[in-house]
Amino acid sequence: MKLSQTPYDEHPFNWEKYSRLYDAFNEVADGFHDLGHVELGQRAEQVRRAISRLWDDVVVTERTEQSSQKE
């Protein structure tokens, strides 16, 4: 099944899931930094960036699928 045709509630990485994970790791990173554990904060930031890159890849995939349907 194409990602662009997957119902929202069945999508493995919909906006709600992305937002929840991104916000959680942002909070984790901030918490580690606040406690003086810079290295752990940086690792959490890396996870947050990976989540963001995955979201970008999902969006590009969906747009590509939608574009190919129009042709």
Q: What is the pLDDT of residues 44-67, one digit of tens each?
A: 999 999 999 999 999 999 999 999
Find tokens 């989540």 and name the residue. 51
Confirm whether 9 is domain-assigned.
no
Confirm whether 24 is domain-assigned.
yes
pLDDT band at 69 (very low <50, low <70, confident <90, very high): confident
**Stretch 8-32: mean pLDDT, rounded?**
98
What is the pLDDT at residue 70? 73
Confirm whether 11 is domain-assigned.
no
Confirm whether 39 is domain-assigned.
yes
Confirm whether 2 is domain-assigned.
no
Domain of 58, in residue numbers: 17-63
What is the pLDDT at residue 48? 98
Confirm whether 30 is domain-assigned.
yes
User: What does the longest C-alpha to C-alpha distance in the chain come to?
Assistant: 54
Confirm whether 69 is domain-assigned.
no
Cα–Cα distances in Å, from 51 out to 35, 42, 62, 67? 23, 14, 17, 24
Contacts of 54 (CB under 8 A, 6+ apart): 13, 18
Q: What is the total count of domains within the chain? A: 1
Q: Report which of 31, 61, 58, 55 is spatially closest to residue 43, judged by C-alpha positions.
A: 31
Measured between its terminal Cα atoms, the distance across the chain in Å is 19
The pTM of the full predicted model, rounded to 2 decimals, is 0.89
